Amino acid sequence: MRVLINLISLLLLLVPRTDVTIAWDPLTEGAAGYKVRYGRAPGTYVTEEYTGNGGVPEFTFWGLYPGTYYCVVLGYWIDNSSGSPVYVDGDPSDEIHFTVEAADVIELPAPAAFRAVQ
């Protein structure tokens, strides 16, 4: 079983991955920054990333595997009125989706036989 799992892990490492950059119009209210929420199903965002570039309205997804991705973008502001910074999220954008195509998938020759390693 471990051999099969290791082979699957190796194949995942060999699947070419793609970087995708999205950009949007900046918010007129001057957001402190932006968050991108994304996932592999409509309306299901399992990952949240801060853009990390202040109020610059763009984000790069690094190392995406082939498939369709769904995402929303929202601005955030920092509220210092309580004495310590609190992040306040704005409303999310409309959902967008994009598809990463499989390109140049590396195929390995099939091994002669598998045997379970206990």
Q: What is the pLDDT of residues 10-41, one digit of tens each?
A: 444 445 678 888 888 887 777 888 889 999 99
Q: Fill in the amino acid letter for 48.
A: E
Q: Domain of 84: which CATH number?
A: 2.60.40.10
- In-domain check, residue 105: no
- DSSP letters, 82-93, are TSS-EEEE----
Q: Is residue 85 assigned to a domain?
A: yes
- Name the pTM for this structure: 0.68
Domain limits at 26? 17-100
Q: Comparing 110 with 44, which gets the higher pLDDT?
A: 44
In a domain, 49, yes or no: yes
Residues 103 and 105: their CA atoms lie apart, in Å, by: 6
In a domain, 113, yes or no: no
The number of distinct structural domains making up the chain is 1
Q: How confident is the model at residue 113 (pLDDT cuts 50, 70, 90)?
A: very low
Burial (Cβ within 10 Å: 0-12, 13-18, ≥19) of residue 112: exposed
Q: What is the pLDDT of residues 45-100, one digit of tens each?
A: 999 988 866 677 888 998 888 899 999 998 888 887 776 667 788 888 899 999 98
Residue 91 lies in a domain: yes
Residue 8 lies in a domain: no
